[in-house]
Amino acid sequence: MTTIGFIRHGVTAWNKEGRAQGSTDVPLDEEGIQMAERVANRMEHEEWDVIYTSPLIRAKRTAEIIAEKQPTLDFLIDKRLGEIGGGLIEGTTEEERVAKWGTEWRKQDIGFEPEETIISRGMSFIEDVKEAYPGKRILVVSHGGFIGRLLHALIPNGEFAKDIGNTSVTVVELQEDENLCHLFNCTNHLEAREV
């Protein structure tokens, strides 16, 4: 049974401004780097076998910070872990989207990556990891929208109502009949005080 630890990247300036990032390559801001350092400190005390990351700089930098604490981990980049393509909304705020396309902007044909494409690339990655690393523990650093959709595909009856928090940790055990989520959207490392 393979275990996947999903980690969302640290915060960016666009996250704070409420701008849709999608496949736009937005870097971590200073706070995002600090968040990545905190999740790295947490993961350092856990046993993992390999770390995969999205190629987008906000996820890749988060993964690099985690990997610095665990230099023996294989470090792999996989484009299938990139964020959902947002089409024309990338770089815009909710207010700007409403002004441009109206309150029903989500129903417009404005270049969103199709749902089936997102799930297909995510499940393709999962199947490859299960085959390559049976019984291993794999860290995956990716993006909130992508992780959220992949969780719903892996655990269709799961209750994952909340948005995925920056640097949150979600742990899924891949099993033959039914996948199990042991930890969801955990950000305890951000609340811990420095000593």
**β-strands 137-142, 50-53 pairing:** parallel
Whether 83 sits among the annotated catalytic residues: the reply is yes
Q: Check whether 13 is labelled as a binding-site residue.
A: yes
Asked if residue 24 belongs to a known ligand binding site, the reply is: no
Parallel/antiparallel/unpaired status of strands 169-174 and 2-8: antiparallel
101 is in an annotated binding site: no
Q: Is 58 annotated as a binding residue?
A: yes
Cross-sheet strand order for the sheet of 137-142: 74-77, 50-53, 137-142, 2-8, 169-174, 180-186
Query: Hey, is 128 helix, strand or coil?
Result: helix
Indicate which residue of 17, 44, 83, 127 is catalytic. 83
Q: Is 14 annotated as a binding residue?
A: yes
149 is in an annotated binding site: no
Q: Is 8 annotated as a binding residue?
A: yes
The answer to whether residue 37 is catalytic is no
Beta strands 180-186 and 169-174: pairing type?
Answer: antiparallel
Question: Of 9, 37, 90, 113, which is the active-site residue?
Answer: 9
Annotated binding site for substrate: 8-15, 58
Cite the active site residues: 9, 83
Annotated binding site: 8-15, 58
